Structures are given as structure tokens and as C-alpha cells.
Amino acid sequence: MFQIRTARNIGVLLMAGLIAACSRQATAPPPAESAAWTRFASDFVEATFKAQPMFAVQSGRHEFDGQMPDWSRAGIMAEISRLQQARAAALAIDGNSMSPAQNFERDYLISVLDNNLFWMAKAEFPFRNPAWYVNQLDPEVYLSRQYAPLPQRLPGYIGYAKNIPAIAASIRANLRTPLPRTFVEYAVRAFGGFADFYRQDVPKVFAGVQNPALQTELSQANAAAAQAMSELRDWFIAQRRTANDSFALGPELFAAMVRETEGITVSVADIRKAGEVDVARNTAALKAACAAFAPGATLADCIGKVSARKPPQGPVAGARAQLASLRQFVVDKGIVSIPTDEQAQVEEAPPYNRANSAYIVIPGFYEKNVASVYSIAPPDPAWSKAEQAAYIDGETELLNTTVHEVWPGHFLQFLHSNRSPSVIGRLWVGYAFAEGWAHYSEELMWEMGLGNGNPEHHIAQLTDALWRDARLLSAIGLHTEGMTVAQSEQLFREISFSDPGNARQQAARGSYDPAYLNYTLGKLAIRKLRDDWVAKQVAAKPGSDPSSYWRAFHDQFLSWGGPPIPLVRRQMLPGDTGSLL
């Protein structure tokens, strides 16, 4: 999964500098609009919805409910060909006939295509990595998104379920073996989890639908889907016999990933250096905060003390109480514009979706009057009392998570991307942009005074920052430097003081999600852009307070939708030759 945008037109913003620089007194002609580009962008979106109907459903186009993509080898190769042809066709349109806004939109669309083509064609994830499928199979939209009453959503789920046996067969046929053992274990848990979820949870969700014919159809489709996933799980269990540790992309492909999915041309070595600098900065700040909060304690014990103070009424009630105060803090401090009165809801995560401790589900652009839901998962009741207690965030840790997910993190950012003038900006928000902004928001709120200088608040923010730093260094180590999963696990424990269970999970994730470095990478790129953009404003008005420009920076940054951050940098700093990090 992640916001202020004024109603200013992108084309007007782009042309402002040119108009101001013009020495003539006459009004400059309006920028040209290319009908060819407008038609192409619209046609591309519709073709993508047809080829990737689950993406259409997630975006709120519910005429596609129940449809699923063709994930056979032939279907995947056809999709790769479609994307390649779309890329060539986009570049063939004469940029001189397009307005500045359209040229930016084309660059944005090319980045979307390059991202998809990297994972599908270059990294070959449909043929190497089961996570590519798992990440696109969640039927949450039919189960808990309130875009229509349950009786109307049930046929969509039934259509989804009917497609699962063919999808399971395609996954098995597509993946090349032997597979890395971390991939195998992830797949066993994920596909086995789907099987259990279909059998145990789905019937409960739709139990109140009073339609015998639909209930019979649901029962049959769901049973077949569960059986297909159970058989797929068993197939992965059999792969344990030949599993290996060959998960690394390698230095060349990893660099291509950063370049082609995020537009970042900084060398991997320099990204590593930036990550190490961030580790040192955050560790020094953590030591200072702990010295004030828990004098004489080790850093691990200091963090444990923060975790021990739980929300008195539980995390769901605690998060609900935090939302109003966080929103008001954003308003009072003038951190960023809030474009609407929309509010996020807080709920306990449903039993079928508790893999993550906290997450937010945000409606698609085409859905109206559907609430965003910030979900918090309770601990597993089968765990020991000690494990259940450890799982629940401390009060300030929960506050930092609420900042990340809602104010001013993912929820606010998507309020803005959903209002982008560009359909591309409304539909595609990149990994580094979304997670970078949400992670940047955590430190931003501390810098703006959240917690009134209380070191307990700072410790919670810094602990999460070091956790994301460890992801960056782990991704680089695992995929370019021969780091083992065990060594990655140790890195998480040493850098971010993670408990053994979380360290193991994060180390394994790095093997099949190499792009999880984007939390810190995005944050660092946003911080650097802010500093460089603000410096330009201060240079034009010497003596002014740099922080007085932060709101304007945040407003402009979020107005672009969610493209690769280097694209935003080129728009906000025309002619810039500075470094991204």
C-alpha cells in the first residue's frame, strides 16, 4: 500500500516559469493539447483494465467484477507484448504537438510501462517468484469494501473463485524449479492460507445473503477454489526437496530494478552509502532520546520500555482517538493542505486479512462515497499471553503507525492522487512515492513538534526508521553482495533491534521483495528534494525561515499523483543538476 493537492492545473504550473520569463507584454498562447495523446492515454487505460481486470476492480470499475487475468504462459507473453507495443506507440506521438502537462503524463505512463516490463519480462517474476501472484490475488474488494451491498458483491466473488483453479494450474505450470527455499516457504503459507481462508472465512462473510441459488453457486465455486489452492500448497511442499538459496537478482539486475521501476540512476553503492548515513543519523538520535527517557538502559531495553506502555483501551480504540488529534495537528501546524473532509475509519482487521499488523484499504478512484478503512490486526489468540502482549504496539508506536497510514501518510496522499488532473496519476502510484511519503511523514511530524519533544515519541519514530534502514541495506546485501538470509536476520536485530520473529520475517521478505528498500529510498529522495527546493526559495528571499516553505513544498509534491520521484524533481526544479539523495 501510500496529499495536499490544490486544484491548480499541471499545465499552468509547468508554463508559469516560461510565461514569467517572457519579455513581451502580450499574453502567451495557451499550451497546445494533442488529441492523439488524449485518445492514446484513454485507450491505454481501457485496454489495461481489460487485460488486468482485477486492477480495474480495485480501481472501482465494477463492471469488471468477477473477471481475472489470463495468467497462462501465453497470456503473460501476450501482456508483455501489449505493454511493449504501448510503449513504442506512446513514444511515437510527436511531443511538440503535446502540452507540457501531456509530455509529463507521457513520461509518467512510460515509467508505469517500464515498471511492469521490468518485473514481467526482465526479472521474469511470473516464472521465478510466487509472490508476483500472491500480491494480486487478494479478494478483499468483494468481502469488505462497501461499494455495494453484499448480495451485489457476491456474484463478483463467485466469478473470482471460479477462476482460481485455472490460475492455480497456471502458477504451477509457469514457475521454474528448483525454487529458492524462502520462496517455497512463502508460497506454502500464502496459498495454504488462501485455501483456509476460502473454506473458513468466506462463507461467514456472505452467510447473510438470502439467495439460495447464489449460496449454492458460492459453495461450489469456493470449494473448488479451496481445493485448487490446497493442491498448489502441496505442490510447493514437494518443492522443499530441491529448494535452494538462489534468490539474488545480482548487481546488474538489481540496479536495473531501481532504474526501471523508480527512475533512479544513482549507483547501488551510493544508495548503500546514503542508507548507512541514515542508520548513523537515526542511531545517534536514538541514543540521545534513550539517554533522556531511560538513563543507563541499553537501547534494546529502552525500546522495550516504550513498547510496554500499551494503549489503555486497546489499539483500535487508541487509533480512533489519535485520528482527530493528528488531523488537527496537520491543520494547526500548516504542514500540508487537506483537500476534503473525508475521514478514514478504524476497524479491527477481519479474520481473513491479518497477515499485516496494520494497513489501510483505500477505495479506487472510480468509487464514490466509500470509506477508507485503517485496519489493525489483533494478536493470534493461540499465542501465549506474553507473545500476544508483545505483538500489540506501545501507545507511541501506534501513533507513529497511524501517522504512516492516515495523517499525513497514505490516506492523505491518496486523497491527493485521486484528484490528480492526470488519469495516469489517479490510477498508478509508485512504491517509492507512496511508501517514501508515508515514511517521510513519520519524521516530518516529529520535526513539526508532534509529542512536544517527549523522547518516548522520538524513540518510536526512530525505531521504525531504523527498521526501514535495515530493509534498504538488507535488499542490497541479499541481491548484490552475497548476503545470506541468516545474515540479513542478524542485520535486522543489530540495526533495528527487531525481535527474532520479525527479523526472520523481514529477512525472508527481502529475498522475494527486493524493492522493499523503497521505504527509505523514497524518504531520502523526498527529504533531499525538499531541502533543495526550499533552498531555492530562501535564495530568492534571503533571511526567510526555511520551514515556512514546507507546506508549499508538500502541496506541490503531492499534486503530481505518484510518479517516480526523479520525475517530480525535474518538474519542481527545472534544469536541476543536483543529486537525488
pLDDT the model gives residue 399: 98
pLDDT score of 286 more than 80: yes
pLDDT the model gives residue 3: 31
Provide mean pLDDT across the span 398-408.
98
Q: Kind and range of the H or E element at 374?
A: strand 372-376
Q: At what angle do helices 565-572 and 431-447 cross, to 10 degrees?
A: 60
Provide mean pLDDT across the span 318-326.
97
Percent of the chain with pLDDT strictly greater than 70:
94
Provide mean pLDDT across the span 319-341.
97
Q: Three-state DSSP class for 113?
A: helix
Cell numbers at 45, concatenated: 487505460
Closest CA to 461 of 479, 480, 446: 446
Whole-number CA gyration radius for the chain: 24
Q: What is the pLDDT of residues 122-179, one digit of tens each?
A: 999 999 999 999 989 999 999 999 999 999 999 999 999 999 999 999 999 999 999 9
Cell numbers at 284, concatenated: 545517534
Of the CA atoms within 13 Å of residue 541, those in its CB half-sphere come to: 8
pLDDT the model gives residue 511: 98
CA distances from 300 to 135, 360, 444 (A): 33, 29, 24
Amino acid letter, residue 539? A
Q: How far is CA 562 from the centre of its chain?
A: 11
Q: Output DSSP code: residue 294.
A: S
pLDDT score of 16 more than 60: no
Dihedral through CA 507, CA 512, CA 514, CA 516, nearest 10? Answer: -70
Q: Is 132 left (phi over 0), alpha (psi -120 to 50) or beta?
A: alpha
pLDDT the model gives residue 31: 60
Closest CA to 558 of 417, 398, 446: 417
* β-bridge pairing 372-376 and 344-348: parallel
Provide mean pLDDT across the span 17-39.
60
- Residues 6 or more apart from 558 whose CB is under 8 A from it? 3, 4, 5, 336, 412, 413, 416, 417, 437
pLDDT the model gives residue 28: 53
Average pLDDT, the chain: 93
CA distance 459 to 437: 20
Burial of 119 (0-12, 13-18, 19+ CB in 10 A): middle
- Residues 6 or more apart from 250 whose CB is under 8 A from it? 479, 480
Provide mean pLDDT across the span 46-57.
98
Query: Three-state SS string across 520-569, please?
Result: HHHHHHHHHHHHHHHHHHHHHCCCCCHHHHHHHHHHHHHCCCCCCHHHHH
pTM of structure: 0.93
pLDDT the model gives residue 354: 79
Q: What is the pLDDT of residues 541-557, one digit of tens each?
A: 999 999 999 999 999 99
Higher pLDDT, 110 or 8: 110
CA distance 264 to 256: 9
pLDDT the model gives residue 11: 33
Cell numbers at 244, concatenated: 535452494
Cell numbers at 293, concatenated: 527517557
Number of H helices, E strands in the chain: 27, 3
Among 344-353, 433-442, 518-527, which stretch is predicted with the lowest mean pLDDT?
Answer: 344-353
Closest CA to 228 of 143, 154, 162, 136: 162
- Residues 6 or more apart from 445 whose CB is under 8 A from it? 326, 329, 335, 403, 408, 461
pLDDT score of 395 more than 60: yes
pLDDT the model gives residue 26: 47
Q: Where are the beta strands (DSSP E) in 14-169?
A: none
